[in-house]
């Protein structure tokens, strides 16, 4: 049963907005409190309606995908969480066996890869096994080894936070870089993204399916696959570090975390650093976001005390009234 929409306002509350919705089951850490308001728009009009209401009521707004790169405060979010469920996928064929695949912000990367392979379209299988939606993955420019989503995106449709107007923008407008896009300014939200991919023969698609399976097997061996946000801290920028090897700056945060011995050893409450990867925090039953913050701060302190630099989160922190990390 849906929660009853919040009524204590001078504005008409759209029926699509729910009140007091738990977020514990809407992120990969399985922690966090409730959203005061929650909406899962299935159409652009729903999205516009939710934004119009949040503008009229001056309610803080946050967009949430699968919550795969998110840590939500135990106090929850005192505003409106919008979780887009726009799931349309369209294909436009081009010359030279190329095609454009447009997917709604709510389509999971997993389902998009499967859809493409079923239609003998390849390219995105490089991201197999990585959780997230098209919206969230574009927001952070999803990357895995030498590949990033920017290698495939050609354009996107966005919605203006202030006006609700939609427009189509090109790849350059998105300003995609490491763990970043212009969407971080939170003046616009993604409603769909378009990818240039390749049509292949059924046999070539079968090979790509095999590559997808092997990538997932590789990820399962190297990384925890549940109750984690993946890499908690981003890699350093070159100007942030002085340590180098063969005259090349050591920017990889896992190098420093391995160096302080937290991998598989650091646990506070019901959160711990994975035994598989030093930059991944995992949760157990009854974990809280406070447990995760305590682990993350300890990781920062250990790296700072040993190397003189402070890791900064790649994971997005939501609902914290005071910034909880160093």
pLDDT in tens, 9-27: 456 889 999 999 999 999 9
What is the percent of the chain where pLDDT is above 90? 94
Q: Which of 249, 230, 248, 254 is nearest to 311 (CA)?
A: 254
pLDDT in tens, the chain (326 residues): 345 444 444 568 899 999 999 999 999 999 999 999 999 999 999 999 999 999 999 999 999 999 999 999 999 999 999 999 999 999 999 999 999 999 999 999 999 999 999 999 999 999 999 999 999 999 999 999 899 999 999 999 999 999 999 999 999 999 999 999 999 999 999 999 999 999 999 999 999 999 999 999 999 999 999 999 999 999 999 999 999 999 899 999 999 999 999 999 999 999 999 999 999 999 999 999 999 999 999 999 999 999 999 999 999 999 999 999 99
> What is the CA angle 299-302-307, rounded to 5?
120
pLDDT value, residue 142: 97
Q: Which of 173, 183, 125, 119 is nearest to 149 (CA)?
A: 125
The residues, any chain, with a CB within 8 Å of residue 8's CB and separated by 6 or more, are none
Overall size of the chain counted in residues: 326
**Structure tokens given for 97:** 């066996």
CATH 3.90.78.10 in the chain, residue ranges: 228-318
- Please say whether the beta carbons of 199 and 128 come within 8 A: no
pLDDT digits (tens, 9 = 90+) for 96-147: 999 999 999 999 999 999 999 999 999 999 999 999 999 999 999 999 989 9
Q: What are the angstrom distances between the C-alpha of 319 and each of 62, 79, 252, 257, 258?
A: 9, 9, 28, 27, 30
Q: Residues 35, 23: contact at Cβ < 8 Å?
A: yes
- The pLDDT, as a whole number, for residue 11 is 62
Looking at residue 12, its pLDDT comes to 83
Residues of the chain with CATH 3.30.465.10: 89-222
Query: Is domain 17-82 classified as CATH 3.30.43.10?
Result: yes
End-to-end Cα, the chain, rounded Å: 41
- How far is Cα 58 from Cα 64, in angstroms, rounded to an integer? 19
Options 3.90.78.10, 3.40.50.2300, 3.90.950.10, 1.10.150.80; CATH of 228-318: 3.90.78.10
Kindly report the average pLDDT of the chain as a whole number: 95
Residues 6 or more apart in contact with residue 187 via CB below 8 angstroms: 160, 161, 162
Q: What is the pLDDT of residue 75?
A: 98
Angle between helix 202-222 and 109-118 (nearest 10): 150
pLDDT of residue 1: 39
Strands, sheet with 228-231, edge to edge from the N-terminal-most edge strand: 228-231, 280-283, 271-273, 267-268
Architecture field, domain 89-222: 2-Layer Sandwich (3.30)
pTM over 0.85: yes
Residue ranges, CATH 3.30.43.10, the chain: 17-82
Phi, psi of 278 (to 5 degrees): -70, -15
């Amino acid at each position: 049963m849906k929660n009853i929409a919040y009524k204590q306002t001078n504005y008409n509350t759209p029926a699509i907005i729910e009140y007091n919705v738990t977020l514990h089951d809407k992120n990969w850490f399985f922690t966090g409190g409730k959203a005061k308001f929650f909406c899962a728009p299935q159409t652009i009009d729903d999205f516009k309606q939710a934004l119009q209401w949040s503008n009229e009521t001056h309610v803080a707004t946050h967009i949430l995908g699968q919550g795969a790169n998110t840590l939500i405060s135990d106090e929850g979010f005192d505003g409106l969480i919008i979780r887009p469920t726009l799931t349309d996928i369209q294909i436009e064929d081009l010359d030279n066996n190329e095609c454009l695949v447009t997917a709604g912000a709510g389509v999971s990367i997993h389902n998009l890869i499967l859809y493409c392979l079923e239609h003998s379209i390849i390219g995105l299988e490089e991201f197999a096994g990585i959780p997230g939606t098209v919206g969230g993955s574009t927001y952070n420019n999803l990357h895995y080894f030498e590949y990033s989503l920017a290698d495939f995106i050609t354009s996107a449709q966005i919605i203006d936070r202030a006006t609700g107007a939609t427009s189509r923008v090109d790849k350059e407008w998105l300003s995609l870089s490491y763990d970043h896009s212009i969407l971080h300014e939170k003046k616009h939200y993604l409603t769909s993204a378009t990818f240039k991919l390749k049509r292949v023969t059924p046999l070539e698609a079968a090979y790509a399916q095999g590559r997808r399976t092997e990538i997932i097997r590789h990820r399962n061996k190297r990384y925890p696959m549940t109750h984690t946000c993946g890499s908690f801290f981003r890699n350093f920028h070159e100007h942030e570090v002085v340590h180098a090897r063969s005259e090349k700056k050591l920017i990889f945060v896992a190098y420093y975390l391995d160096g302080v011995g937290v991998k598989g050893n650091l646990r506070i409450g019901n959160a711990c650093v994975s035994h598989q990867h030093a930059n991944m925090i995992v949760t157990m039953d009854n974990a809280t976001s406070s447990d995760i913050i305590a682990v993350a701060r300890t990781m920062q302190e250990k790296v700072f005390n040993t190397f003189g630099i402070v890791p900064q989160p790649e994971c997005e922190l939501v609902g914290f009234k005071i910034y909880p990390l160093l």
